[in-house]
């Protein structure tokens, strides 16, 4: 968790949001982190880590994550709210894709998804695309 704390420390996200992210990661209540539908907490944590690392400049106040989880992936759209904007980011985290990129195969010759997830954790994003930005009135 040390790396996650470093990511949080380097982010310009609102302190209340950071507190809710910490609570979410520890299994507690997190009003500023909404997951619509079902998103496994480990996969949501990876999306949050990516957001805080890739968008460290954003003063994030809250997020809403809508995703679909498969065996090797978690993909969807995240709505990120700041004081001035609402932004939608499409994402696709996929450990199978990362294993293929690394050329890693398991005993049976399939992409070694488990190794990729273990070694790269949140760094398995195949795509991260801002699809809309709306200025608040």
User: Which tens digit of pLDDT belongs to each residue from 14-46?
Assistant: 999 999 999 999 999 999 999 998 889 999 999
User: What does the block give as tokens for 120?
Assistant: 């790269």
* Interval 85-131: pLDDT, tens: 999 999 999 999 999 999 999 999 999 999 999 999 999 999 999 99
Residue 71's CB is within 10 A of a number of other CB atoms, namely: 7
Domain ranges across the chain: 2-135
**Do the Cβ atoms of 136 and 84 come closer than 8 Å?**
yes
Which residue in the block uniquely carries the two structure tokens 């932004």? 87
**Angle, CA 44 vertex, CA 38 and CA 46 arms, to 5°:** 155
pTM for this predicted structure: 0.94
Beta bridge partners of 93: 74, 125
**Angle, CA 97 vertex, CA 91 and CA 100 arms, to 5°:** 160
Burial class of residue 8 (count of CB atoms within 10 Å of its CB; 0-12, 13-18, 19+): buried
């Amino acid at each position: 968790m040390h790396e996650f704390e470093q990511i949080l420390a380097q982010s310009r996200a609102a302190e209340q949001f950071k507190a809710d992210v910490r609570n979410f990661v520890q299994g507690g209540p997190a009003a500023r982190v909404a997951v619509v539908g079902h998103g496994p907490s480990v996969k949501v944590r990876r999306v949050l880590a990516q957001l805080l690392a890739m968008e460290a400049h954003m003063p994030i106040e809250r997020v809403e994550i809508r995703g679909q989880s498969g065996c090797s992936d978690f993909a969807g759209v995240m709505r990120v709210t700041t004081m001035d904007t609402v932004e939608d980011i499409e994402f696709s985290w996929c450990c199978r894709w990362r294993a293929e990129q690394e050329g890693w195969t398991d005993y049976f010759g399939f992409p070694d998804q488990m190794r990729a997830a273990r070694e790269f954790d949140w760094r398995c994003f195949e795509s991260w695309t801002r699809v809309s930005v709306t200025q608040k009135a």
